Structure 1
Amino acid sequence: MIARLTGAIAIAAEEEFDPDTVTPGVWGFVVTFALMVVVVLLILDMVRRIRRTNYRAEVRERLEVERLEAEVLGDQGVAPDVPSPSPNADDDESGPGAASAR
């Protein structure tokens, strides 16, 4: 077995190597181009998925902040969406009790 292997190596060493005849050819170009297209598409998909993940994380953070603000305002006895009464609320005559006060 070793003798055959050394014989094949000796025959290969005797042959002259011509770099002009060794080319990948058209199929080598097609395969390389297809591989490049697949890699570019994978990179675009990865960037899209990373961007989507980052946006989801930002939205989660905003929702968490809003929830915490609502809890803090709720603990203080103030409703988060109800505006505080103005200081001149007693002078306003257009309120619901204005008609009965006259």
Structure 2
Amino acid sequence: MTSLISVVLAVTPTPDPDFDPNTVTPGVVGFLAIFFVAVATVLLCLDVVRRIRRTTYRAEIKERLDAELAARDADPDAPKDDKRE
């Protein structure tokens, strides 16, 4: 383990004295990479919201249909549908 640390320390170059770490930027490539990640994230979020809405609407419609069937079955004067039984 000590030999690995000494190798890493020996290989590490000394920084250039004219190098200013405050002026280093990722450049256009870094901007484009982050931009595409942000666009992909927004599109995924929109897709998830759409799928959740669709599932919620389907559950609401199923509850309404079940309530209508229960109300129809509870009413003795309602005409019975022969196809259902």
Q: Give, in whole Å, the separation in 2 of the partners of 1:14 and 1:8.
A: 12
Going by fraction, where is helix more abundant, 1 or 2? 2
**Number of the residue aligned with 1:52:** 54
For structure 2, list consecutive stretches of 5 or more residues without a partner in the other structure.
80-85
CA shift in 2, pair 1:4/1:63, >3 Å: closer
For structure 1, list consecutive stretches of 5 or more residues without a partner in the other structure.
81-102
1:2 is displaced (CA, Å) by: 4.7
CA shift in 2, pair 1:4/1:68, >3 Å: closer
Question: What is the one-letter code of the residue matched to 1:8?
Answer: V
Based on CA coordinates, which of the two structures has the bigger radius of gyration?
A: 1
1:60-99 correspondence to structure 2 within 5 Å: 60-73=62-75, 76=76, 78-79=77-78
**Number of the residue aligned with 1:29:** 31
**Number of the residue aligned with 2:3:** 3
1:51 is displaced (CA, Å) by: 0.8
1:14 is displaced (CA, Å) by: 3.6
Q: Give, in whole Å, the separation in 1 of the partners of 2:45 and 2:74.
A: 43
TM-score, normalised to structure 1's length?
Answer: 0.62
Which sits farther off after the overlay, 44-53 or 12-21?
A: 12-21
Q: Give, in whole Å, the separation in 2 of the partners of 1:79 and 1:4.
A: 86
TM-score, normalised to structure 2's length?
Answer: 0.73
- Number of residue-to-residue matches in the alignment: 78
Identity among equivalent positions (%) equals 48
